[in-house]
Amino acid sequence: QVQLVESGGGSVQAGGSLRLSCASSQYSVNSGRLAWFRQAPGKEREGVAAVTGDGRTNYQSSVEDRFTISKDNTNNTLYLQMDRLKLEDTAMYYCAAGLRYGWLPLSLQPAAYVYWGQGTQVTVSS
């Protein structure tokens, strides 16, 4: 059974940095088809970044110059480095894995992914 466990969230001041981790079991991050999503209170879940097996990436435009998605195949872990955090980055962050049939790689649509973690909270304050 695939398990994705996020960690690394917390509270940080605007302009600061956090690195989120997503430890995967029974799903090889080497295969890619991985993504980070976030959901703020009262808002829909939105895609933040995605990565393929060969390291190609896709970012939501609001984060593409501040966030970096990466994966460690040895440790079977997905990461999201978040720099220059803004108030509007406050949300619960989720990792997702495994594209559903018919969806293109690097999709940032929640419906595209099969497996989900429980989330880690990121709170950015002024």
> What local confidence, expressed as pLDDT, does residue 72 receive?
96
Average pLDDT, the chain: 97
Q: Are 14 and 125 in contact (CB under 8 A)?
A: yes
120: nearest Cα among 27, 20, 17: 20
* Cα(71)–Cα(14) distance, integer angstroms: 25
Residue 98, both tokens: 């495994």
CA distances to 73, 121, 126 from 14, rounded to whole Å, are 31, 15, 5
Q: Which residues of the chain have pLDDT under 70?
A: none
* Cα(119)–Cα(28) distance, integer angstroms: 19
CB atoms within 10 A of CB 119: 18
> What local confidence, expressed as pLDDT, does residue 25 receive?
94
* Cα(24)–Cα(9) distance, integer angstroms: 17
> What local confidence, expressed as pLDDT, does residue 100 receive?
93
Task: Name the one residue in this structure whose structure tokens are 């896709």.
Answer: 58
Name the DSSP class of 84: S
At 70-102, the pLDDT tens digits run 999 999 999 999 999 999 999 999 999 999 999
Residue 13, both tokens: 């001041």
